[in-house]
Amino acid sequence: MANAINLPDYLNQQGFDPDLIQAMTPLFRVRDYQKGEILLPQGENTKVVCLILQGVVRGFYLDAAGADITKCFSQTGDWCCIYNLLDDGPSEYGIEALADCQVAQISVPVLRQAFDEAPVLRDLYEKLFRQAFIISDEKGLAFQRLPAKERYLEFVANYPDLAGQIRQEYIASYIGVTPSSLSRIKREL
């Protein structure tokens, strides 16, 4: 997994000026989570947006039959929960730490207020939202067009560090197969 990132350094790399970095940094709450800990429970109205400073998390939901479905992965340097900015209702999915993590969280109301005061922040959000949309759209197309083996290879190409480090059942549900099917796919490669 990637080395930890520093919040002020990250904001600097995104084009924030030093005064804005100094003003924004205290608005974030840095939290540590242990592997297996839930950052955001599905169905709760916890309105935060998170930057993964170190570690890896997964977005997941329980379907109508109670099956645990992995929706997405976020690693060091990635944002998660950005959909909380769009919807004021309960979260459609939960977030779980797949490794010990350090996360910088900012509340949605605070972030929305900051948008009005710092256009560069809104630009960052729009960039992140576009990226999230593209990833989601590409995953949807892959499910429609690609066989399971190709979906697994695409997962490995997109998340090379994760394939051997997280539970295979999470990868299987992410690519839409059973764990036994994933084992068969891996044996065939």
**pLDDT tens per residue across span 9-43:** 988 888 888 888 888 889 899 999 999 999 989 88
Q: Please report whether residue 146 resides in a domain.
A: no
At residue 173, the pLDDT reads 92
Read off the CATH number of the domain in which 109 is found.
2.60.120.10
| Measured distance CA(183)–CA(1) in Å, rounded | 23
| Measured distance CA(102)–CA(8) in Å, rounded | 14
140 alpha-carbon distance from chain centroid: 17
On the 0-12 / 13-18 / 19+ scale of CB atoms within 10 A, 96 is buried
Using alpha carbons, select from 93, 111, 98, 124 the residue that is nearest to residue 16: 124
Q: Please report whether residue 134 resides in a domain.
A: no
Global pTM value: 0.83
pLDDT tens readout for residues 71-106:
889 899 888 876 656 667 788 889 999 999 999 998
Let me know: does 176 contact 12? Beta carbons within 8 Å.
no
Let me know: does 79 contact 49? Beta carbons within 8 Å.
yes
24 alpha-carbon distance from chain centroid: 21
Q: Please report whether residue 124 resides in a domain.
A: no
Number of separate domains in the chain: 1
At residue 19, the pLDDT reads 87
Q: Please report whether residue 140 resides in a domain.
A: no
The domain of 78 spans 7-118
Q: Please report whether residue 143 resides in a domain.
A: no
